[in-house]
Chain A
Amino acid sequence: MNLLSGPPAVVAAGVDVFSDALRVQGADVHDVDWRPPAFGDPADLAALALDPRRAAANRVAVERVLAAGSVLVDVRPAREVLGLQERTLLHSGPPLTWEAASGPMRGALVGACLFEGWADDVEEAEILLSTGAIALDPCHHHAAVGPMAGVTSPSMWMWCVEDPGTGRRAYCNLNEGLGKVLRMGAFNPEVQTRLRWMRDVLGPVLSQAVRGSIDAGDDPLDVKAVLAQMLQMGDEGHNRNRAGSLMALRELSPAIVALQESSGWSSADLAAVLRFIGGNEHFFLNLGMPTAKLAMDAARDVPGSTMVTVMSRNGTEFGIRTAGTGDRWFTGPAQTPVGLYLGNFGPDDANPDIGDSAIMETYGIGGFAMAAAPAIVRFVGGTVPDALATTERMYQLTLAENPAMAIPIMGFRGSPTGIDVLKVARTGWLPQINTGMAGRIAGTGQVGAGLVQPPRECFEQALAALAEEIRAA
């Protein structure tokens, strides 16, 4: 026991009279800014804190998350890699019905029906969707993620990333760019034209480029390494993906250009692909997200672990999952982000929080690595010190620091990784998420970007369920 090895420094939580008495003695005293937990039955909190499995379980969960790698191994249509039945659409967030779906989610679902040719017009699509002729399922139920509405249909091409250590894979569709896009709930002819071009040109070109270079013996693109570099270049990997998108363009370009000779693509098509990638500063987001998904999926089903493995929103509800409770969703009403609006859009135009992209924060970057991307904090009129403070706070919510995701301004400290349900309750701080904002009305598209937090209810339910699991164990 090191207790008796010398005059101890003291960390004190509670009444100050003891700290005062210690200071009088000249002792080294550190007061904790303790306050009653923001939620949770005291007996549940104690059950979690005293669960003898917890420390080891969380260590296992953290180790798996940190060990997961991500390399780009393929680009394939969703129907092939996700085993998507015809007439099934995937969406972001926890499970959802058409009735409960928000405007942008409905817009994206309608748009996908039109894109797949299942309906000829909006009305027909709405009938299919409202009568259950189209099955809806969360992306997360298929090792997949999708930004904003996350609507993924069988003909869409998917990035396929793989953890080299385990061979596990995760998937995400291709990013359409900004403005009027399907993921923001727009479905007009311009959106349809772009989706068809992505299906007929972008997807096949990327697929052939990725597979071609791997077949030629090149190392697959190390997506996790690009994420790590982005944090050194002013991106946080969620709302700011500029450096990452340019790096992806740099890495993919030679193989894309080579297709003119090997596969007969016209230089016009290939130029259009390169222009599209270069013109979309969020192009990399759809590679970063499955990378984070791959890592968080590694921590699924670790009994006794209080780590959050999924945070996700479907535009109506926010849902989380934890390592200790497997595939159960804990949901609450999605909040409306606070931020800046495009043009003359305003808060009344914004839909509540939507998208699987909060997987980035679940993985410890995005809003958690705010300090790496000071530009993002200005979305809410904040300052650079605010960015640092946000990341500092997130360290108190998390179980680990990810050495692979170093934040330069924090002295290259690893990003705060692995949200602990117990710590969320005890600190009263909720995870900070950076996000885009979709228009409330179907078809509007993007109206802004900003910051949002999960509803407390998700964590409240997760805490109660984890405590119940302890009693059952």
Chain B
Amino acid sequence: MSLPPAPGGHPLVSVQLRSGVYADSVRLMQVSRRIAALDGVTDVLVAMATPLNLELAAGMGLAPDGGASPEQLLIAVRADDAETLAAAVAAVDAALAERERSTGAATAIPQRTVGAGLAELSPEVPALAIVSVPGSYAAVEAADAIAAGRSVLVFSDGVPVEQEVALKRAASAAGVLVMGPDCGTAIVSGVALGFANVVRPGPVGLVAASGTGAQQISCLLDMAGVGVSHVLGVGGRDLSEAVGGLATLDALAALDADPSTERVLLVSKPPSPSVEVTVRAAADDLSVPVRSAALSPETPDLTAAVEALLRDMGLDVPVWPSRPGPAEAAVPGAALKGLFSGGTLADEAMLLASPALGGIRSNIPLRPELGLGTDLSASGHVVVDFGDDALTRGRAHPMIDPTLRLEAIAKLAASGEPAVLLLDVVLGHGADPDPAGSLAPAITAARETAGNLPVVVSLVGTEGDPQGWSRQADALAAAGAAVFASNAAATRYALDLLGAPA
């Protein structure tokens, strides 16, 4: 057989047949590829000497002389020089002798979807899903949970309302609950999901369309020695006309069937009138007594709702914990400046203060004409909710990241406008591990700058919270703030300082 002349030299060829050696074709192709990659090696065929492979070898000019049988191993190499050729043939032997190294352990494959994650759990284990992916994808993940027969808490906001309705209808049909979207707070059988406080177990179940409202109520109950069975969030839109209270109705039914729940408190902003009728009718059909703590101009006070519940239960209403702070003179004519992280707490403050103060400007105004511009500043009475969606886009919630509010406090102090500053601080799981750590110095600095700036804080939390109510209260009081466990009490104290008692 004549070989084509190689440019610049005479290639050398080694063609061997070995008997008694077998390796499968995949292994041999791997060996061929490795040897072909060596410098100076131009052609390689390491293969069992089947007719097909002999034909390939012939095509490469590497056919063995004489007869070959399919049981034989053909090792055919062409290289630029004798040294490379010998090294290549030796490398074939080495490669054939090598053992494949493998750990034997499968790489763990991460679950990419809620469905895949839930599929890993035994159906007997109680389980739920938490979805906090971007809102445009949240319904897809939540739908997995419903399909798996599991309830789901959707923390994400920005979920289109028609997707919320579709999810809640599917959940209702499947006998599970969709908490949310935009639900930040729940406690299920003692497990705190999202922003929630460490409260004792007990007989009161909460259904909450409002996260910080549920936190305020569960904390006050805890301070009164009353525990909660579950806190079921339903999302801020659940009681709107569009959603029709779908999750509220399911949550009420679930608590009614729950042996550990003896009383239910429904926490929300004012529901749409028709939904309120539906929910009221459903609640009246349940065997568990349901009390409403819906905030409205007529019922502006979450603390009062807790006190009413305690009286329902035949319990004494305690003196709610507070730290009076320094004795301060009233500042008649000053403006109320409420800088809040909790939307429901801001609402409650406005509902309580408006009758005494008149219109309060806000980014979540009680009436549209009271709206604030994008710079959030106005003279006179102002309440800002830093937890509003428009202010949390691209940054963490103010319960985690206090930056914006700390800036606003410094700005207020520097403005020279006579004011009483009303703040909320929410403790518990998920929240800033030490809010007083940054807020107390900011209060001290603001009071120094402004000269006369009374600061009132509603501190929502419990002693059991990771931050500890008393530790935080003491640190804030030491900075010159008056601290109240009740947001309503804090608001009333601020009104007193304004010389405009509620």
Which A residues lie within 8 Å of B131 (CB)? 13-14
Determine chain B's interface SS by DSSP, over half rule: mixed
Q: Are B429 and A24 in contact (CB under 8 A)?
A: yes
Out of A6, A19, A178, A426, which one reaches B189, CB within 8 Å? A6
Q: Is the CB of A22 within 8 A of B191?
A: yes
Number of interface residues of A (CB under 8 A): 70
A396 touches B258 (CB 8 A): no
Q: C-beta contact mask, A349-383 vs B, less than 8 Å → 1, else 0?
A: 00000000000000000000000000110110101
Contact status A13-B114, CB under 8 Å: yes
- Are the CB atoms of B191 and A396 closer together than 8 Å? no
Instruction: Report the stretch among A65-73, A83-91, A285-293, A385-393 that lies at the interface.
Output: A385-393
Which has the most chain A C-beta neighbours within 10 Å: B43, B55, B115, B134? B115
Give bound CA distance, A385 to B103, whole Å: 7
Contact (Cβ within 8 A) A385 B105: yes
Q: Chain A: which residue is nearest B70 at the CB level?
A: A279
B100 beta carbon closer than 8 Å to chain A: yes
Query: Which stretch of A25-33, A139-147, A153-161, A167-175 is in the interface?
Result: A25-33
With contacts A32-B114, A34-B113, A396-B116 taken as known, whether A12 is within 8 angstroms of B126 at the C-beta atoms is no
Q: Mark each residue of chain B from 116 to 154: 1 if its CB lies under 8 Å from any CB of chain A, else 0.
A: 111011000111111111101101110111010111000
The answer to whether A4 and B254 touch (CB under 8 A), given A32-B112, A340-B33, A389-B109, is yes
Segment of A49-57, A221-229, A255-263 in the binding face:
A49-57
**Chain B nearest CB, measured from A365 CB (Å):** 18
Q: Considering the chains assembled together, what is the distance between the CA atoms of A7 and B191 in angstroms?
A: 6
Instruction: Say if the beta carbon of B334 comes within 8 Å of chain A.
Output: no
A131 contact set on B, CB distance < 8 A:
none
Is B475 located at the chain interface by the 8 A CB criterion?
Answer: no
Bound-state CA distance A390–B125 (Å) is 28
A12 touches B132 (CB 8 A): yes
B351 within 8 A of A: no
Q: Which stretch of A35-43, A109-117, A326-334 is in the interface?
A: A35-43
Contact partner of B126 among A6, A37, A396, CB < 8 A? Answer: A6
Partner of B177, one of A3, A22, A28, A33: A3
The answer to whether B114 touches A8 (Cβ under 8 A) is: no
Instruction: Find out whether the CB atom of B191 lies under 8 angstroms from the CB atom of A3.
Output: no
B190 in contact (CB, < 8 A): yes
**A46-B109 CB under 8 A given contacts A3-B176, A344-B45:** no
Residues of A within 8 A of B177 (CB): 1, 3
* Interface residue? B166 (CB, 8 A): yes
Residues in B lying within 8 Å of A, measured CB to CB: 24, 26-27, 29-30, 33, 36, 43-45, 52-53, 55-57, 59-60, 100, 102-107, 109-118, 120-121, 125-134, 136-137, 139-141, 143-145, 147, 149-151, 155-156, 160, 163, 166-167, 170, 175-177, 188-194, 229-230, 250, 253-255, 257-258, 260, 400, 429-430, 466
- What are the 10 A-B residue pairs with the smallest beta carbon separation, nearest first? A14-B132, A33-B110, A388-B106, A42-B136, A340-B29, A11-B117, A343-B56, A392-B109, A49-B143, A21-B429
17 sampled A-B residue pairs with Cβ under 8 A: A1-B176, A1-B250, A1-B253, A4-B188, A12-B129, A13-B132, A21-B192, A22-B193, A32-B113, A37-B137, A37-B140, A55-B147, A340-B29, A385-B105, A389-B106, A396-B113, A426-B140
